[in-house]
Each structure stands twice: as structure tokens, then as C-alpha cells.
Structure 1
Amino acid sequence: MLSETHKENRVKCAREFLQQCAENTEEFLDSIVTGDKTLCHYVTPETKQQSKQWRHSDSPRPKKFKQTLSAGKVMATVFWDRKGVLLVDFMPTGTTINSEKYCKTLKKLRRAIQNRRRGRLTKGVRLHHDNARPHVSRNTKALIEQFGWEIVEQAAYSPDLAPSDFHLFPKLKQHLGGQRFATDEEVQNAVTTYLNGLAAEVLEAGFQKWISRQQKCVEKFGDYVEK
């Protein structure tokens, strides 16, 4: 449940986003790099849509067995912009993301931007990530300041306003649905191949949904946005 303080902060962040976007929409959206982390399992159950079957009206209902996520999993940190995926960084099994590791990932991200988005570092980068502890640590903030990057504020408890959560990762999980992998490397290859193969139009759609969701957040006085 969102408290009134949470709702007020969500509206505040949404209004700031929309104001910056309105001033120069193309420049603002072009400058944003958004990122988040997700768990990718060795076995991801099919979605309800994927498991649908055509059958005759008189046919018996097919048996469906409950599937659970497998124990084997890989943590992926993904950064992307409206043109494509910039970086897919995997955590070794059994480790957790701390400030030091996240700073190493951000340095990889900077190199990726330098190589894939010529001139973007000079024009300016706006980084969007959530408020996880490694993201707001003193070392992380110092590194971002050293890079000269701005931060696009993300309100707490707001996955509905994070494009990775409401747009990119659901597409990834749908793609992985029904597939089985035996090793971390197989999962990593499948994830990387899919994300790097996404068309710019797919990612641009996520940014447009982001604008729409920010507007709805303001209209709903900070309540969660379903679609």
C-alpha cells in the first residue's frame, strides 16, 4: 500500500519528468539511459497466452500442470535507451550487487555509450535507475557526478513507472517462456541474443508508454498505474 507521502513523491517525480520532456521532447528522450536488474531462470513457465491451444468445443479440456521457476537462475543488469540495448551485464552465481560491483557496471555502461552512441557523452546523459542501496551509495553518486551525468528521479515503490519493469522485462520473460537451459552460459546467450536483436521501434514504444504512465500517475494523484 502506498502512503500519502509515497503518492506525493510519485506525483512530484512524474511532474518533473513531464516538464523536462515538454521543454524539448526529442533531446530529453535521446539523453535518457534506463536500467534495472532481473532474474533469468533455467526454466521459465509459459505465459497463459503461450499455452493456449485450439480445440473442438466437444473436446475434453487439456490437462495443465503447474510449473514453477527452476532453482537455476542468472542475475542480469540491463541498460537501454530508445534506440537499443546498450549493456547486458551478468552477475556471477552466488554473488550480490554491492556499490563496488555496481560502479564497475556503470564504467562498462559508459564505454558502451561511448562506442555505440557517438557524441552522446558530450551532449549529456541522463541516467534512470531505482533507489536500490548500491545505486544511491556515496561511491556510486561520486562516480555519476564524475561522469557528469544527471539523474532521472525514480520514486520509491514505483515499478509501474520503470520502463524495464513494465515494458522490457515482460517481453524478455515471454520470449524465454517454455525454454529450458542447462547452464548459466546458455541462459546468458539466450538473453543477450534476444535483447540485442530488439528493433528500435520496440524500445521506442517503451519510452512512449513511459510518458503516458507518468501522465496517468499525476491524474491518479500518485496511485499505481496498471496500463
Structure 2
Amino acid sequence: MLIHENRRITLKELGVMLSISVGSVEDIVEYHLHYRKVNARWVPRTLTDVNKMVRMRAASCLLQQSEDEGDAFLKSIVTTETWVHYFIPEPQQSSCEWRHTSSPKPKRAWRSRSAGKVMATFFWDWQGVIHVDFLTDARTVNAAYYADLMATDVKEKIQSKRKTGGKRVAFLQDNACPHTAKTTMETLRKLKWNLLTHLPYSPDLAPSDFYLFGRLKSDLQGMWFVDDAVIQTVREWIRRQPQVFGGGGIRMLSESWKKCVDSGGEYIED
């Protein structure tokens, strides 16, 4: 299913791909497939009791570790995610959530079709962006590419950037196929990185989703890129970020874990 392949795909993009109206796509996605958006990603509209219990338990364990170890734990976290478009549309509350049908629907502005796509894989931590790697010409992130990236560029930059080198890395990634593949798991084992628990359909617990990409899109909104000039623009955006930028997002993880626990595992929708 297209939503499974790209959980950030928009209703308009789906309409173009399927040659049907945006209204028809919205009806199918919301009322037949029962999906909504949380932090700009499609997730099941309703979490089951089991889903909520598992989310709450995982968040509780991570919150406890954060409380026990404090900043030392948060500073050890390296997180990753992939996604950048050639064209960042005018704001239409693109990070807002698709809410329950009984809630008022947000107003949505007209969205222009994307001119193309560059995939950017970010690795970042408390101190900011560690490494960003770009794929162009319709290439995609697969397990071999992802594992090699971690074992070379990312490993070297972590070792040179941190006083502890690469001795303590708490790695937070989502459950995308390249991230959970055997090749990736073997690479993580060799690197001796501690893989933190991250559950499916939990963009509200992923700092790249609830923090990094929202700010990137906000700063680039309305810009038009006719080619891969977006790469240089993103690199310049990274260089402009203050030293406290990364820490702001990582610190919010503890708040997100606590909110998840306090809500009984429900989606966090601020």
C-alpha cells in the first residue's frame, strides 16, 4: 500500500498517483483504511489496547532510564530518519494531525505538485547533525546502503565528535525495512551500539518527526528547487542551526515518553 511505502505522502500526492480527486482519497484513507496523521505521518486512526499497553511500557522503561542517568543518557542518543523533497509547499499545517472524525477538520491550503525528490538521511544527536547523506535520481535507501553508511561515515564522525568516541551510543531509529533488516542488525552489533526500543506507528516518540523535520520544512517553505540545489540549501540550513538545536529535540524525548505513559499509551497530540 502506498501509505505503507511512504507514511509522509500527502492526500494530493496520492490523488495524482491514483488519478482521483483529493476528496476521494481523503474518504478512502480516513473512512475506509482508518488512518490519520500524527506529526505529518500516517498512522492507524485507533490504537488497540495492546498497542497502547506496549507503547506505555516501552516509554516507561526509557523514561526510567532517562531519570536514572539524566543527561548522560540523553547525550548518548543518536537518532536517524530520511526525507526531503525538492519542493517544500506553502504551509498547510503540514505537521498537524488528522484527528478523529468528530473533531473539527483543519483548513488545508492548495498544494502544488512536487517537482522531484532528494532523499536525505540524517543522523543527529544532542550536539546537532552528525552526518547527512543524500540520494538523487530516484535512488532509494536500502539495507546495504544504510548499513554501510553507519559503518563508515557515521561511525567516523561520532568518534571524532564525541569525547567518548563511539564507546557509548544509544541508537534510536524507526521500524522501516532497511532499519530492521538482518544486514543492519549485524552492523549495529559490530558497532556495539545499543538499539533503543521504538515501536511501529510512533512518530510522536521520534524526535526527527516531532522536531527536526518540522523546523526544516518551516524554514524552507515556499522555496522552489528546479534541480538538486535543495542539497546545498539543506546543508546551509544545518550550518545555521545554533549549538543548542540538537539538545532541544533530544530533551523533548523525555517529555514525550512521560506524556505517553501519563496518557496510557495514546498518541501525543499537542
- What does residue 135 of structure 1 align with? 179
Selected match of 1:156 from 190, 197, 200: 200
Given that 1:44 and 1:69 are in contact with CA atoms closer than 8 Å, whether structure 2 keeps it comes out as: no
CA deviation profile, 1:111-145 (whole Å, cap 9, x unmatched): 111122232313x1111000111111111111101
Which residues of structure 1 form unaligned runs of 5+? Answer: 50-64
CA deviation profile, 1:158-182 (whole Å, cap 9, x unmatched): 0011000000100000111011112
Q: What is the alpha-carbon distance in structure 2 between the residues aligned to residue 167 and residue 36 of structure 1?
A: 12
| Matching of residues 98-177 of structure 1 within 5 Å | 98-107=142-151, 108-122=153-167, 124-177=168-221
- Secondary structure in 2 aligned to 1:33? strand
Which residues of structure 2 form unaligned runs of 5+? Answer: 1-45, 94-108
Selected match of 2:68 from 20, 23, 26: 23
1:205 maps onto 2:248 in alignment: yes
CA deviation profile, 1:64-83 (whole Å, cap 9, x unmatched): x8232413111111011111
What is the identity, as a one-letter code, of the residue corresponding to 2:212?
A: L
Between 1 and 2, higher relative CO (CA 8 Å, sep ≥ 6) is seen in: 1
Bigger shift: residues 25-34 or 86-95: 86-95
Given that 1:18 and 1:211 are in contact with CA atoms closer than 8 Å, whether structure 2 keeps it comes out as: yes
Q: CA deviation at 1:48?
A: 5.5
Given that 2:119 and 2:140 are in contact with CA atoms closer than 8 Å, whether structure 1 keeps it comes out as: no
What is the identity, as a one-letter code, of the residue corresponding to 1:142?
A: E
What is the identity, as a one-letter code, of the residue corresponding to 1:24?
A: E
Given that 2:81 and 2:123 are in contact with CA atoms closer than 8 Å, whether structure 1 keeps it comes out as: yes
Selected match of 1:34 from 74, 79, 101: 79
Counting aligned pairs with the same residue, the percent is 36
With normalisation by structure 1, the TM-score equals 0.87
Given that 1:34 and 1:164 are in contact with CA atoms closer than 8 Å, whether structure 2 keeps it comes out as: yes
Q: What is the alpha-carbon distance in structure 2 between the residues aligned to residue 223 and residue 132 of structure 1?
A: 21
Q: CA deviation at 1:210?
A: 1.5
Q: What is the alpha-carbon distance in structure 2 between the residues aligned to residue 197 and residue 114 of structure 1?
A: 23
Q: What is the alpha-carbon distance in structure 1 between the residues aligned to residue 169 and residue 131 of structure 2?
A: 15
- Secondary structure in 2 aligned to 1:120? coil
1:9 maps onto 2:45 in alignment: no
CA deviation profile, 1:194-225 (whole Å, cap 9, x unmatched): 12331122222212222111101011111100
Q: What is the alpha-carbon distance in structure 2 between the residues aligned to residue 131 and residue 41 of structure 1?
A: 21
What is the alpha-carbon root mean square deviation over aligned residues?
Answer: 1.7
- What does residue 58 of structure 1 align with? none
Given that 1:6 and 1:156 are in contact with CA atoms closer than 8 Å, whether structure 2 keeps it comes out as: no
Q: What is the alpha-carbon distance in structure 2 between the residues aligned to residue 214 and residue 43 of structure 1?
A: 33
Selected match of 1:179 from 210, 218, 223: 223
With normalisation by structure 2, the TM-score equals 0.74
- Secondary structure in 1 aligned to 2:78? strand
Q: Which runs of 4+ in 1 moved over 4 A?
A: none
